[in-house]
Every structure is written in C-alpha cells, then in structure tokens.
Amino acid sequence: GEKPYQCNNCDKAFSMKRYLNRHLRTHTGEKLHKCSQCGKDFSENSSLIIHTRVHTGEKPYQCSQCDKTFSLNGNLRIHMRKHTGEKPYQCSHCDKTFSYNSIFKLHM
C-alpha cells in the first residue's frame, strides 16, 4: 500500500501518521510507558505489556506437543524445532545444519 509518511531520520515510510510518530520515538529515545513494578521505561505500550510477564509469570503461549509454556511467541516457535526437527541454520563450510542460532555460532 501507499506509505506517504516518511521518516526524516532514516529511510522508513509509513501508511499512517501515528505509525510515523510511534517510529520517531526510536530516534528520540522518548519512553512514555513505565512499568509500575520496577520503573523500567518503554517507548511502546506493547513492549511494556510483554515486560510485565517478567513480574506476573504469565506464559500465554503453550506447546501443542508437550504443554511447555512460554512468555513470548517467538520462544515457542524456536522450541517447536525440538518436535519438528527443523534446522534453519546451515554452515557454508561443511553444510552441517543446526536448529538454534546459538549452537550454530558456537560451531563457527
């Protein structure tokens, strides 16, 4: 779609002015959202919501294979590789594949 709202600090463009305004905080460092538990500041309310799970212990993402739970959906996706055998990281020198980026980096 059309993205008429251009950031003057980088090459990103946005379809709505409010998205540009939200993005501009990444350049200004402005953080409007504060955790009531520890005082940590966030530029995005969504980041604050995710952060509060540190304090509440909430883990809304559950593995359908083994019932393990996660606070972040991305961590569940990575965990699923244990069940699927997916190995998205491949060494360009020996062609060995790895499920996890951290193990792949150790191999290098």
Residue 25 has pLDDT above 90, yes or no: no
Query: Which tens digits make up the pLDDT trace of 80-106?
Result: 999 999 999 999 999 999 999 999 999
pLDDT value of residue 43:
86
Query: From 1.10.150.450, 3.40.50.2300, 3.40.50.10800, 3.30.160.60, which CATH number describes the 61-107 domain?
Result: 3.30.160.60
User: Which DSSP category does 99 fall into?
Assistant: S
CB-based contacts of 96: which residues, under 8 Å, 6+ apart?
90, 107
pLDDT mean over 67-74: 96
Helix or strand or coil: residue 82? helix
CA distance 69 to 28: 36
Flag whether pLDDT at 26 surpasses 90.
no
Phi/psi for 16 (5° steps) reads -135, 145
Sequence-distant (≥ 6) Cβ neighbours of residue 2 within 8 angstroms: 15
What was the pLDDT predicted at 32?
A: 87
